[in-house]
Amino acid sequence: MSAIQLKQPYKIIQRKQKRYEEHYQIPALKCVVVPIKEYGDDLSCDVRWQDADGKMHEQNQLFFSHQNIEPLDPMKDFELHELWAHHYKTNDDPALFKNS
């Protein structure tokens, strides 16, 4: 298991999407998950998504297990990465992509 980086973009792994959809009433496939705080094996996360009408939604302090999220691939998960970049990326954060 790789280390989780706080305030970086993740998505829910495919085999757990239905579980999180039912538990949190979120569209798991369209959500960017941003870990904010770590509690042992659990993470308190912000979750954001955009609905079909373009309206933004956010839920805060949802709990996820480390093994149920995976890092976003900026190329394959472009829309989710852009959603994260719009809400979390700052110009003074050296850990972020310079070409984004």
- Look at residue 93 and tell me if it is in a domain: no
- Look at residue 96 and tell me if it is in a domain: no
Could you tell me the maximum CA-CA distance found in the chain, to the nearest angstrom? 37
In whole angstroms, give the CA distance from residue 70 to residue 13.
6
**Per-residue pLDDT tens over the stretch 17-45:** 999 999 999 999 999 999 999 999 999 99
- Determine contact, residues 35/8, Cβ cutoff 8 Å: yes
Using 50, 70 and 90 to split pLDDT, how confident is the model at 2? low
Q: Is 17 helix (H, G, I), strand (E, B) or coil?
A: helix
- Look at residue 73 and tell me if it is in a domain: yes
| Stated pTM of the model | 0.86
DSSP 20-54: HHHHH---GGG-EEEEEEEETTEEEEEEEEE-TTS
Which range of residues forms the domain containing residue 38? 10-88
Domains contained in the chain, number: 1
